[in-house]
A and B are shown apart, each in its own frame.
Chain A
Amino acid sequence: TQLLEQSPQFLSIQEGENLTVYCNSSSVFSSLQWYRQEPGEGPVLLVTVVTGGEVKKLKRLTFQFGDARKDSSLHITAAQPGDTGLYLCAGARLWAGKSTFGDGTTLTVKP
């Protein structure tokens, strides 16, 4: 079983603070995805990273794929209450047809 470990599990911060969420594995993945899920909804894809060392930016969110394609991080700059939600990372292997999910990081941004 390929495990993806996310940390921290819970994070509560004030509006305007920066934060980083980590996703680590002992296995190599062909690609890694980050999702955000709000209560009562399905997860929504934020980004896919495929190349070791790749960095992608989505407004105030910066995603990085580790050089060895075993880990990833999500950094949020100047967090806002609208960033509140469950953040999930998932790893996919080529042609496997399925993804492995981490247990998620629950982020609360207080006004």
Chain B
Amino acid sequence: NAGVTQTPKFQVLKTGQSMTLQCAQDMNHEYMSWYRQDPGMGLRLIHYSVGAGITDQGEVPNGYNVSRSTTEDFPLRLLSAAPSQTSVYFCASSSPRTGYGYTFGSGTRLTVV
């Protein structure tokens, strides 16, 4: 199994540009989440979903949109990139059936100039 697949691995954007970070999982997990990780600040939750058609905000949702049309896919959209969004982004999936432990993707390193 591939687990959680994130694309792209690296991206450089100019301020004001928009883009979509892709995330797909093949484990039939109900829950999916997007986190950002900044040096010295741990993982901060951006948005999460408990199932297809259901999304909710995490602690740092401003500037980001998500949708979940299928169980497998959970894309993260940056609406108008800002330098403050320079970070490493991780997508993760989990399930109550497996004790809520996350499987993480390998991350997207985003730089906004």
What is A's interface to B at a CB cutoff of 8 Å? 1, 30-31, 33, 35, 40-45, 48, 50, 88, 90, 92, 94-95, 97-99, 101-104
Contacts and interface: CB of A to CB of B under 8 A. Distances in A.
5 nearest A-B pairs in the assembled complex, by CB-CB distance: A42-B104, A97-B50, A92-B100, A103-B42, A48-B99
B50 A45 contact: no
A42 B107 contact: yes
Contacts of B49: 97
Contacts, number: 66
Given A30-B100, A48-B99, A88-B42, A99 B94 contact: yes
B100 A33 contact: yes
Tell me if A's interface is mostly helix, strand, loop or mixed.
loop
Interface in B37-92: 40-43, 45, 48-50, 56, 58-59, 90, 92
Interface of B: 4, 30-31, 33, 35, 40-43, 45, 48-50, 56, 58-59, 90, 92, 94, 96, 98-107
B103 A45 contact: yes
A69 B34 CA distance: 26
A50 B31 CA distance: 18
Nearest to A106: B40
Contacts of B30: 97
B100 A1 contact: no
Contacts of B56: 97
A31 B99 CA distance: 7
Contact of B43 (A1, A95, A101): A101
A35 B42 CA distance: 12
B36 to A, nearest CB: 12
A90 B106 contact: no
Contacts of A104: 42
B100 A103 contact: no
